[in-house]
């Protein structure tokens, strides 16, 4: 695609100096994310204000040119790859924390602020924002909004969608609008803010977000439970989530995940067991003993080998070291990792774990299972090491997704759909539901310029 000269002139005017780029180096930096997809855009712009975004969308619509918004580029689904070329808007310069309001428990931020920078700014006020993905140092709030990011603490505090009050955005029509409120309760019309979260930039370009904040807990308690098999650990998860003391994190690791972590980080003291649960509780210090006792009792299913409580912060860090080492450990095994983040009802987690083991044996492909078990959200990572294994791994995917749907689950918990899972959307949703989604897309973006080729099949 060659951009019209009139559009290029408009972009140079709206984005003066280095805020507009057509050099190959800048275009190549905007061509990929953390997936295997890559496509060069024709131009890259760096918005610094809402008015620029409005002018950008209107210009792209006038010339029917695709527009893809991006932040830190950490998507693993190709969601920020400009698959049809056109213009990429890099929001890393819109990184202001406009306001932190502890009294109303909210913060107003621009989309380019990183998750980690926001958390650091909130800490002196005694608050945090609930989403805490592993990519927090690099991912942006805008990206978190786009894919409804979560993280380990979503089990208690919810995902991005549960922690957004309001948004300012520009629809694909070029019209600016605000949705949501600055209050935690509202019964006023359609909830467009929740609709935009998770829409992967296909409906509107978000320029500001009002976020719901949570007070930092007074105390924390971390436990590690080891099991003789994955099914026992999965049963323990269901028992833990059925009692009143909700953990703020409940992470699962299977035998292969533990081996990879052990090989990658021997000093972490990862046990040689078939499955492990990392359990974290928070709250008032005087209430933690009772909560911990309740969770310990629920964790003691047949198959429990060892249960330990961290004595201090240093041991807590050591207990989490294995979990945090996993991403790098998998990359050391293969550069062809297929990263899925399926979700099932917590009560069906034992069946999912068993199904993944069966798939691995049937297709002769290593599969690592770990993740946010308290939500029923497992990262099922296939690790093919050669061409034959790659072919078998992709053959296993439809079976995995079909099994997840049969268990009452969904094909993505926090990574989104992007390009990677588009073809599987009809498995997850009926034709009628997808038709309604296409109708919503047509209202917000009638010419289909916003992040085309993503989410909807």
Pairing between strand 87-90 and 43-45?
Answer: parallel
Place of tokens 């044996």: 361
What tokens appear for 364 in the block? Answer: 């002769």
Same fold: 217-324 with 334-444? yes
What per-residue confidence (pLDDT) applies to 322? 67
Residue 432: what pLDDT?
98
Q: How far is CA 74 from CA 6, 80, 366, in A?
A: 33, 9, 24
The answer for residues whose C-beta is within 8 angstroms of residue 388's C-beta and 6 or more apart is none
pLDDT score recorded for residue 328:
73
Query: What is the residue-averaged pLDDT of the chain?
Result: 94
Cβ(236)–Cβ(243) below 8 Å: no
pLDDT given at position 264: 81
Q: What is the pLDDT of residue 334?
A: 82
Mind listing the pLDDT tens digit for each residue in 362-413? 999 999 999 999 999 999 999 999 999 999 999 999 999 999 999 999 999 9
pLDDT at 331: 75
Please state the rounded mean pLDDT for residues 175-204.
Answer: 96
What fold characterizes domain 97-215? 3.30.465
Does CATH place domain 334-444 in 3.30.43.10?
no
Domain 5-90 fold: 3.30.43
- Percent of the chain's residues with pLDDT above 70: 99
Instruction: Return the domain boundaries, the chain.
Output: 5-90, 97-215, 217-324, 334-444
pLDDT in tens, 294-350: 999 999 999 999 999 987 787 777 767 767 777 777 777 788 889 899 999 999 999
pLDDT value at position 361?
95
pLDDT band at 85 (very low <50, low <70, confident <90, very high): very high
**What does the pLDDT read at residue 329?**
78
Q: Where residue 30 falls among pLDDT bands split at 50, 70, 90?
A: very high
Q: Are 411 and 342 in contact (CB under 8 A)?
A: yes
- The answer on pLDDT for 112 being more than 80 is yes
Q: What is the pTM of this model?
A: 0.93
pLDDT at 443 over 80: yes
CB atoms within 10 A of CB 244: 7
Fold of 217-324: Alpha-Beta Plaits (3.30.70)
pLDDT at 134: 87
pLDDT at 267: 76
Q: What is the pLDDT of residue 330?
A: 79
Q: Report pLDDT for 21.
A: 97
Q: Identify the pLDDT of residue 266.
A: 80
Q: What is the mean pLDDT of residues 270-292?
A: 94
Per the model's pLDDT, the better-predicted residue between 168 and 270 turns out to be 168
């Amino acid at each position: 695609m060659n951009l019209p000269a009139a559009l290029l002139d408009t972009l140079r005017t709206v984005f003066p100096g280095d805020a507009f780029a057509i050099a190959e180096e800048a275009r190549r930096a905007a061509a990929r994310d953390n997936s295997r997809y890559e496509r060069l855009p024709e131009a890259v712009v760096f918005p610094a204000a809402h008015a620029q975004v409005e002018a950008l969308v209107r210009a792209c619509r006038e010339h029917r040119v695709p527009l893809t918004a991006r932040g830190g580029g950490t998507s693993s689904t190709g969601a920020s790859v400009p698959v049809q070329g056109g213009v990429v808007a890099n929001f890393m310069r819109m990184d202001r924390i406009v306001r932190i309001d502890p009294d109303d428990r909210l913060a107003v931020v621009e989309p380019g602020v990183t998750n980690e920078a926001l958390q650091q700014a909130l800490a002196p006020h005694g608050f945090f924002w609930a989403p805490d993905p592993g990519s927090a140092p690099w991912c942006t709030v805008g990206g978190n909004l786009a894919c409804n990011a979560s993280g380990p603490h979503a089990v208690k505090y919810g995902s991005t969608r549960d922690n957004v009050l309001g948004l300012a955005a520009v629809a694909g029509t070029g019209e600016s609008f605000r949705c949501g409120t600055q209050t935690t309760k509202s019964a006023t019309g359609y909830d467009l803010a929740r609709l935009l979260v998770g829409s992967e930039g296909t409906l509107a370009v978000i320029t500001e977000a009002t976020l719901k904040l949570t007070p930092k807990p007074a105390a924390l308690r971390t436990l590690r439970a080891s099991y003789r098999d994955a099914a026992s650990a999965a049963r323990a998860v269901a028992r833990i989530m059925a009692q009143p003391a909700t953990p703020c994190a409940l992470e699962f690791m299977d035998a292969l995940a533990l081996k990879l972590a052990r090989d990658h980080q021997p000093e972490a003291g990862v046990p040689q067991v078939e499955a492990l649960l990392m359990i974290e509780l928070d709250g008032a210090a005087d209430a933690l003993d009772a909560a911990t006792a309740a969770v310990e009792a629920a964790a003691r299913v047949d198959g429990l080998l060892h249960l330990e409580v961290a004595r201090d912060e240093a041991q807590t860090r050591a207990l989490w070291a294995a979990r945090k080492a996993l991403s790098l450990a998998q990359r050391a095994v293969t550069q062809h990792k297929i990263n899925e983040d399926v979700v099932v009802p917590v009560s069906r987690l034992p069946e999912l774990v068993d199904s993944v083991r069966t798939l691995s044996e049937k297709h002769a492909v290593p599969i690592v299972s770990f993740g946010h078990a308290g939500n029923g959200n497992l990262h099922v990572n296939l690790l093919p090491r050669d061409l034959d294994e790659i072919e078998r791994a992709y053959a296993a995917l439809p079976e995995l997704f079909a099994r997840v749907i049969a268990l009452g689950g969904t094909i993505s918990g926090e990574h989104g759909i992007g390009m990677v899972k588009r073809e599987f959307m009809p498995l997850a949703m009926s034709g009628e539901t997808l038709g309604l989604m296409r109708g919503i897309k047509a209202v917000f973006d009638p010419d289909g310029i916003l992040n085309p080729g993503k989410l909807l099949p």
